[in-house]
Amino acid sequence: MIKSMTGFGRSEITVHDRKFTVELKSVNHRYLDVNIRMPKALNFFDAAIRQELKNYISRGKVDVFISYENLGETTQTVRYNKELAAEYLKYLREMAADFGLEDDIRVSTLSKYPDVFEMEESEIDEDELWKDLKTAIDEACEVFVKTRTAEGERLKSDLIEKLDKMLGLVEFIEERSPKIIEEYRGKIDSRVREILGDTSVDEGRLLTEVTIFADKICVDEEIVRLKSHIEAVKKELLEGDSIGRKLDFLAQELNREANTILSKSTDLEIANCGIELKTEIEKVREQIQNVE
């Protein structure tokens, strides 16, 4: 079952007085490129989050948005730095004595000096926090994969339709190619008889000319490879999973064979068919860019 690289997933859960919201958005990209935006309190889990995402995603540019809210008791506490306050008080009194100033030190004044009071985070159970966050991430990823899979099914149907059309074009070229040789033989024979009149035609020489021409325009190998590549793409679409890179390679090979046929063509019908074939291959290549 193929998946598109375009997708969206969202989850919102509240557990252990913690509320998590996770959103994922993605577009096509050659490799897996993950950009995570989350509160500083969760930065510790960056590597674990990326590893978890790899269980669901192999390619694409993915933007992840995580919000976190503690709904329970505050996780911050105030710490009174008694030793530092004593240092401030000591030097303030010394300053008053040195300059003959009034000693007007009050508690409210002393408390405003830096680091006399500090905010501290209460100890958090990181294992429990990660377990809750992972639950939210997994739920969002499951929705995300469903949207990618649904889009992938639409892509598969469209690609198979285009591949069937390409196969029809290849079969036309296969049927038309032998007729070109016969037509060429007829033209050569008529031309020679027109020039020589009643003089007998050298059948051996005529056969040699036709053989050289046939060898020059022969596309049998290209047709065999085109059919093989088309069937290979179909097989991957029907059986594959993360197949985008493989399909991209096969599309390049299809284009290479179509170019060779065009370069050998001396027939207008085959040339037009070859151009149409290349157009369909390009459409397939564009669609394949969205396959994971």
pLDDT of residue 197: 55
Contact 175, 33 (CB under 8 A): no
Residue type, 149: T
Look at the block and give the residue holding tokens 């252990």.
16
pLDDT of residue 176: 84
pLDDT of residue 109: 83
pTM of the model: 0.68
- So what's the architecture of 7-73+125-149 in CATH? 2-Layer Sandwich (3.30)
CATH class, domain 152-288, is mainly alpha
The span from the CA of 241 to the CA of 292, in Å, is 8
pLDDT, averaged per 10 consecutive residues of the chain (292 residues), comes to 92 92 95 94 94 94 94 72 90 88 85 83 78 96 96 93 95 84 62 56 60 66 92 90 87 93 83 93 92 90
| Alpha helices for the chain (secondary structure H) | 46-53, 82-99, 107-110, 126-196, 203-217, 220-239, 244-264, 268-288
Question: Which sequence spans correspond to the domains of the chain?
Answer: 7-73+125-149, 76-121, 152-288
Judge residue 22's burial from the number of C-beta atoms within 10 Å of its C-beta, 0-12 exposed, 13-18 middle, 19 or more buried. Answer: buried
3-state SS assignment for residue 119: strand
pLDDT of residue 177: 79
Alpha-carbon dihedral angle through residues 106, 111, 112, 115, given to the nearest 10 degrees: 150
pLDDT of residue 80: 87
